[in-house]
Structure 1
Amino acid sequence: MALKERDEFSGQMTTGHEWNGIKELNTPVPRLLWFFLISMVLFGLVWTLLMPSWPGVSGYFRGLLGSDQHEAVRQSMVEAETERSVWTARLVDEDFDSLAGDDAIMTVVRQTGPMLFGDNCAGCHGVEAKGNLGYPNIAEAPMMWGDDADTIAETIRVGINAVHPETRYAQMLAFGRDQMLSGADINLLVDYLEDLGGRGTMSADDREIAASLFADNCASCHGDDAMGMTDTGAPNLTDAFWTHGGDRSSIRRSIYNGRQVTMPSWEGRLSEAQIRLLTLYVMDMRTATP
């Protein structure tokens, strides 16, 4: 049996255990540590009794204080909805001009719009609304269906080539794939569009032939001046904004294969107030973009 003795340096008794001349002291647990251990145990017991804690067969122990975080969340949502109802009612009832001129409403639009746009629109149009390949730049480019607020709101509501019964329809024919134009004619049209954009060097004769081809096949949608038509949703072909790419091969591919994009209808997914808020947000972005 190990013999206990008093350590001459610390004055503490040893446990009788020794390893290679090192003796183990029988040092008591510090009182401060006992204090914290006991305090935490008591706190845990009190918290368990006062607050919701242990699960049961058909529910859980709700605590002596009757605190219910589910109810607290529901109450906070009701309060938030009550607060929002003030400006959501205005968004629905007032015209866009008066809303756009109201600093309080536009503050709400600028605070709420980025999240609403990010959740529903940024996946296609980009976070800054400057478009991705196949999806238009709606922050800077001319709007294909018109850039007034009522038209933008209607486009959001019914979509483009969507399932909504009132959706807008737009489709570019596949002039090459469906053998409506020869490869040479398509190349002339590509040259013509590059020339309209200030990048081409067509001869006068080729330009005359290409202009005739454009008038016969493209002008009915894009306009005689190729600057687009809001009636058909056809884009401007003379500026720097190209939804499907403005390089020569992309333009040729568009003419050859045609294009048909789809924008979902947001009616039923977003409330009327949200659609109108998004409209104001897009209009505000377009105004702020230099």
Structure 2
Amino acid sequence: MNLQQLRYVVATAEHRTMTDAARSLYIAQPALSRAIRDLERELGMTLFARSGRGVVVTAQGRRVVKLAREALGAVHEIEGLSNHAGTTDAELRIAATPSLEPGLAGRLLPAYAADHPGVRVHIVRCDGRDGVVSAIRDQRADLGLTDLPVPTDLITHPLERQEIVLISPPGLELPNPVPMGKLNGMRLALPARGSLRRRELDAMFGKFAVTPVVVLETDERNGWLNAVRAGQASLLWYRGMAEQAGRAGLVVRSLEPAVRRIIAVVHARRRLPLIAQDFLATAEKGTAA
């Protein structure tokens, strides 16, 4: 038995399908299935029962998953203590989405670095909220910065509400703020159909009874901005992207009524390394101020 196998067990228990667990671990699904089978043979017990397209954790498996989480948490804490003791080698890993990274780098990191000059902060760039969640679960990041909601296996520390704005090419005759009704028939670049982001936006459209014209469906953020730059569509996204959009000559407008999302620092349900605890304290103090 090794730590990698324990990570596989925890990921499989959290995702409830071998396919999704393998994707979160960046390995092939057959390799994950073999590793789980090998561990079950080694332990002489069945950890997961197959159920349709997914798996169900057995009674014995639940005990193993609990102990695996505790073991991985202990290893992570030991690593954190080691990092905290050696200032030149200390590294804090923070997962963030591209739209929230500017706020992280511009506000939170300078305040943290002022009090912790010996800690190197590595930003793990993630493609959306799901990417941040996976980075935390896979222990590729100590903390994550994302919008809510996130799965209940993560702990959240809300920091602020960030506004969703309309980013458009120049020349569109629109008021500021833009009434929601104006989105009806508007040409928009949207996230891929079926994605969490798209479902949230579709729910907003349904709430206000508007039907935009979908010009582009993709989860590639550069694709969205390129479509707006080319004058093909407008884009709904966080005000955190406004600076980047403004540099590109695009126009940023608020919506009426205003739509905001809660931005939070998130982490796994385990004791954080001391350097991560310090960052969280800095972030919460900055919010209170």
Task: State the TM bucket, normalised to the shorter chain.
Answer: under 0.3
TM-score (norm 1): 0.23
Query: Which one has a larger percent strand, Structure 1 or Structure 2?
Result: 2
Asked which structure has the greater RCO (Cα within 8 Å, sep 6+), the reply is: 2
TM-score (norm 2): 0.23
Which structure has the greater CA radius of gyration?
1
